[in-house]
A = this chain, B = another copy of it.
Amino acid sequence: MPRISAQQQSDRRNEILAAAQRCFVRSGFHGASMQDICAEAGMSPGNLYRYFPSKEALIAGIAERDRAEVAHSFAEADLSQGVFKVLEGLAHYHFAQRPIEDVLLCTEVMGQARRHPDIGEISRSFDVDVRRWLRDLLDAGVARGDIPGDVDLDGAITMLMTIADGMWWRRALDPDFDPEKIVPIFIDIMRHLLRSRPKQAGESSS
């Protein structure tokens, strides 16, 4: 293989992952062949296999890319307007604004998680990370006084993540589901679970 720079290698990886995602979304994990993915990426099998030796490796690569993106969306949280403003922004972004391809890939991964131990492990470890990032964010909310100290944060996080799964499945399967209409109801529930005081200064009422 000709020597290419680290940046070129990284760009090439991202192109392959985007091509693989389109194939998985279109044909499913089983239906998409490595050959289809090579064709979609416009690469020879020999070249693509140097980057990703299997469909599982491609799923792992996509999960790694998405994990970095979600980590970034938590890391750039600006708490100056309160934790609820941050949570609302995350809800709008992850439930309504993310491209439908991300939603469909996520449901495809969930659909395969029980049957493929590698994919199950990817899905579970992503879940553990999201739970930790949410916990850190809510702890910061408690420290700021936005969230009362006696709220059951673990229970609230489990419920918020449960609703998140449902939101993604609804977007994937229900043609009548309009996430923009449901996000305000989600935000109302989140404030209820975390017992935000509705008339606190600096916050819009739910």
Contacts and interface: CB of A to CB of B under 8 A. Distances in A.
Dominant secondary structure at the A interface? helix
Contacts of A104: 114
A123 B159 contact: no
A107 interface: yes
A181 B169 contact: no
B173 A162 contact: no
A31 interface: yes
A86 interface: no
Copies of chain A in the complex: 2
Contacts of A175: 124
For chain A, which range describes its interface: under 10, 10 to 19, 20 to 34, or 35 or more residues? 35 or more
A155 B185 CA distance: 8
Contact of A28 (B115, B166, B167, B188): B115
A113 interface: yes
A162 B167 contact: yes
Contact of A166 (B111, B165, B173, B181): B165
Contacts of A165: 165-166, 169-170
Interface of A: 28, 30-31, 104, 107-108, 110-115, 120, 123-124, 127, 155-156, 158-159, 161-167, 169-170, 172-175, 177, 181-182, 185-186, 188-189, 192-193
8 contacts: A104-B114, A114-B172, A162-B166, A162-B182, A165-B170, A166-B167, A185-B193, A192-B192
